[in-house]
Amino acid sequence: MAPDHMIRRTKQLWRAFLGIFGALFIIPALLACSPQVANTSVVSATSVQPTAVQPANAPALAPDASGTQAPAGQDSAAPAMPNCSNLILTPSETEGPYYKAGSPERTSLLDGTVKGTRFVLTGYVLTPDCKPVPGAWLDFWQADAQGSYDNSGYTLRGHQMTDANGRYTLTTIVPGLYPGRTEHIHVKVQAPNGPVLTTQLYFPGVPSNSRDGIFQSQMLMSVKQTSDGMAGDYNFVVK
């Protein structure tokens, strides 16, 4: 029989061996099989939100009021996209006697001789399903601040095309009144390969609106005062 000290020594060696074996194999194996909880939070399946994927070279996007994404920073003065619900085709109105074809292409009708309250009109040309129309033609003409049209030249007349985002900007003046009419701006609008829409735009809060037999409330612009005049917004909806 082995002496007691030999038996104790053997037990000590076994314990040391088992300790080393456990440290090397058993503990790592248990850790590998356990749930990973560090730096995670519980996310239910229904709370996972899809992540928008942007091309690396895409412009930054900012949501507008309608939830539509529009390039951010491209034009800080750009009108907000409209609420696309319940869009109707822009009504037509009479051309009147003062239209002249062949107006110059320009976004500002202020040629240095025009006097009056500065008015900057912006907006979109849209399809009935609310898609902006790039390259749409807009031809504006209007009376001066005294209510007179230039029928010999092209003062306060000009045409332009919507930009790649379907937007337009017109810099002009607030037109004056002439007998029988309220303040208005004439315009023709045509989407590429579409029919020409002839109509007129009106200013809100003008007392003579209610006395004008041509006036239609659907053609009222959204207008506000600015530091140097007035600003308006109107979105055309065309075929």
User: Segment contacting Fe ion (CB under 5 A): 18-26, 27-35, 91-99, 110-118?
Assistant: 91-99
Of 128-147, binders to Fe ion (CB under 5 A) are: none
Question: Is 176 among the residues that bind Fe ion (CB under 5 A)?
Answer: no
CB count within 10 Å of CB 149 equals 20
Determine, following the binding rule CB under 5 A, whether residue 194 of this chain makes contact with Fe ion.
Answer: no
Between CA 89 and CA 190 the distance in angstroms is: 13
Contact, 170 vs 121, CB < 8 A?
yes
Distance of CA 5 to the CA centre of its chain: 89
Nearest residue (CB) to Fe ion, 96 versus 229: 96
Q: Please, what is the minimum distance in Å from the beta carbon of residue 193 to Fe ion?
A: 28
In SS3 terms, 107-168 reads as CECCCCCCCCCEEEEEEEEECCCCCECCCCEEEEECCCCCCCCCCCCCCCEEEEECCCCCEE
Q: How far is the CB of 190 from Fe ion (least distance, A)?
A: 20
Show the tokens assigned to 67.
């939830």
Of 5-13, 65-73, 88-96, 151-159, which part binds Fe ion (CB under 5 A)? 88-96
Nearer CB in complex with Fe ion: 134/176:
176
Interface residues for Fe ion in 93-112 (CB under 5 A)? 96
Binding site for Fe ion (CB under 5 A): 96
